[in-house]
A and B are shown apart, each in its own frame.
Chain A
Amino acid sequence: MTVSTELDLQSFVLLRLGERRFAVSAKQIAELVAPSRVFRFPHRTPRLEGVILRRGRIVPVCDVSEMLLGKRLTSRRFYLIAVRNYGAQREWVAMPVTGECELINAEMMAASESDAPHVAGWLSHDGDVIEVLNLDTLTPGPGQSLAEAAPPQSVEARP
């Protein structure tokens, strides 16, 4: 293995939503926690369910499954807490996931212009091609038009 190849490897967290797997850069992940009580209050932002309390912080819960799968999750096992950038500011966002998460090292292929805005890139793992998510377009934020809901796709593409 050459030095340049090693440098291309990055760490990703694989998460499961229903039957599909997605990846998020490990640099953006804070922790994986068991589901806790979601506190709901009136608001008008789509995809936000409410907030959870975690280590004294109030963390918004954002369900991205409808956008990624075309349907809402019926079961959730964990909340993946990710760091979301808002310009210079960063905040935690909790995303419900349906299964265990896995840390892998892989090389990311850059997204093309035809990819949906929430796709940061692609990686190949275990015979599957997996979308790397761009959380900054997938989750709501000020002054930003959310990426349009992607049509439901078939289970992971196989190379």
Chain B
Amino acid sequence: MRPAAPLKSSPAKTEQIILFRVSGQLFAVSSASVQEVRSADSMSGASTEISAPGIRKVSHVARRGDRSLFIVNGAMHFGLHAAEGALLFVLRKTRTALLIDGIEKMTTMTRLQALPLSFCHEERQWYRGLTALDQTVVPVVKPEGFLSPEELALLDAALLKTDEAAAAALEETNSAQ
């Protein structure tokens, strides 16, 4: 017996994707979702530490004008072995900069299959679906799935607290001088 309807897939059009690794695991992301690729070192000077309760995957925030980018450790997000990320993907239309090991290659996917419904936990927020490339199955990540609205709210609160502490320290220094 076969399922009555084929599994939901995207229309038959191609999409440029970037294959990248986190802790040795291969993932894909739409290249249209990646605004910038930066080396982790280049960002370290512009970032400050942040600590939000329960969100260990974010330890730094980068300021860009009035915008804050939360640096998400990809390995911690996916529950993989911790790895020193070398590159950052600044993800378009999000406040996420994703720390990854490196880029494998750029390629084209012709079919995105919906994540099977058996996968019913957090991974449904993580992935847009799966794609088969060269007889390998690769999960295609959802850029907005790295930080939930609740996590963003907690991070914003932690950021505010950090800013207030910094302002208070500055004021104390000025008054002492």
A-to-B contact residues, CB < 8 Å? 27-30, 39, 41-45, 48, 51, 53, 56-60, 62, 83-84, 86, 89-93, 139-144
Contacts and interface: CB of A to CB of B under 8 A. Distances in A.
B142 to A, nearest CB: 13
9 contacts: A42-B139, A44-B122, A57-B113, A60-B116, A86-B117, A90-B3, A91-B3, A140-B119, A141-B117
A47 to B, nearest CB: 9
Contacts, number: 88
B130 A58 contact: yes
Contact of B78 (A29, A42, A53, A144): A42
Given A58-B116, A89-B117, A51 B130 contact: yes
B116 A90 contact: no
Range class of the B interface residue count: 20 to 34
B2 interface: yes
A51 B84 CA distance: 28
A79 to B, nearest CB: 14
A89 to B, nearest CB: 7
Nearest to A146: B120
A89 B122 CA distance: 21
Contacts of A90: 3-5
A141 B118 contact: yes
Contact of A83 (B2, B80, B113): B2
Interface string B120-152: 111110100010100111110000000000000
Nearest to A143: B120
A53 B132 contact: yes
Contact of A57 (B5, B7, B120, B123): B7
Contacts of A29: 1
Nearest 4 A/B pairs, CB to CB: A44-B121, A42-B78, A39-B137, A90-B3
Contact of B1 (A28, A43, A139, A142): A28
A86 B116 CA distance: 10
Contacts of B1: 27-30, 83
Nearest to A48: B118
B110 to A, nearest CB: 12
Given A28-B1, A83-B1, A92-B3, A42 B120 contact: no
